[in-house]
Amino acid sequence: MAAAVGRICGARLLQKYGIVAPQICQLSTNAQAWTKSRKLWLTTLGVGAGGVGALLFALEQSVQASGTEAHPYHQPWSHNGWFQSLDHASIRRGYEVYKQVCKACHSLQYIAYRNLVNVSHTEEEAKAEAAEVMIKDGPDEEGNYFERPGKLSDYFPSPYPNENAARAANNGAYPPDLSLIVSGRKGGEDYIFALLTGYMEAPAGVILREGQNYNPYFPGGAISMAQVLFDEAAEYTDGTPATASQLAKDVATFLRWCSEPELDDRRLMTIKAIGIFSFLAAIVYYYKRHKWSTMKSRKLAYKAVSKK
């Protein structure tokens, strides 16, 4: 026991002393106990990591500035922030815009009709939406393929049977799938909104091929998709005025939801996790203070008995 205490406290109790002054056990893990070389190494590591981070940030900014396309403005979306949910009424209106305008060329191959349930539609409404499309299914018992009305488990069908048919119908351009378009484009929904509302006449010196249009937010400026959103280009069932900017805002919100259908659930789980872990952290801190209070306030003094 004396040897163990001596190793911990550095009191050297196993040596012979005449009269030993009280010795205090000091167990310290603060920065004062670090060696000079360790401090130098940690300082160098921190400075190096900060320099690399600053360099990467500067390179990213320079690459963005070197592009020829315009940078979209950041819009005040209602779902900005860690604890803000998506506007579900806007999601429903955005689905109506997609159904009436975008569906003619673009697919949503990773979104099923069941995903609309309790988000923008009731279960019965989602079933009715699915039943409006015909899904190729089969083979049947005779080996033939057939078409049937859609079900909730079906995914949104593509407007074209294959990529070649899509290119042939769009002057060689392939309309991208919109399921992950917001996550796949820098700027997200800001880019979608700016692209849909940013069509203009080509400036002097910009040559466009037949079938192309000018949009400063598209890389290169020349885009094969014509402007599709105008005032009253779609009709809302809730009576919202269908201006071009309103249509673009709603379809951008809808596509934001398509990219992350679990966004609201994830943010709700974040709020729950913060509350639970904050409560647990308070309990653990109190228990630690209670458990170590006697150890932290203890003062050990040892005095050897001199032989007479």
225 among annotated binding-site residues: yes
**Sign, Cα dihedral of 179, 182, 183, 186:** positive
258 among annotated binding-site residues: no
102 among annotated binding-site residues: yes
Gap between the Cα atoms of 274 and 278, Å rounded: 6
Gap between the Cα atoms of 263 and 186, Å rounded: 18
Cα–Cα distances (Å) from 27 to 131, 280, 298, in that order, read 73, 28, 12
Largest CA distance in the chain: 113
Q: How far is CA 22 from the centre of its chain?
A: 60
The tokens describing 54, both together, are 């600053």
Check if the beta carbon of residue 229 is closer than 8 Å to that of residue 101.
yes
105 among annotated binding-site residues: yes
Q: How far is CA 53 from the centre of its chain?
A: 21
The tokens describing 251, both together, are 């379809």
Tokens 């769009």: give the residue: 170
In the annotated binding site, the residues are 102, 105-106, 225
Task: Specify binding-site residues for heme c.
Answer: 102, 105-106, 225
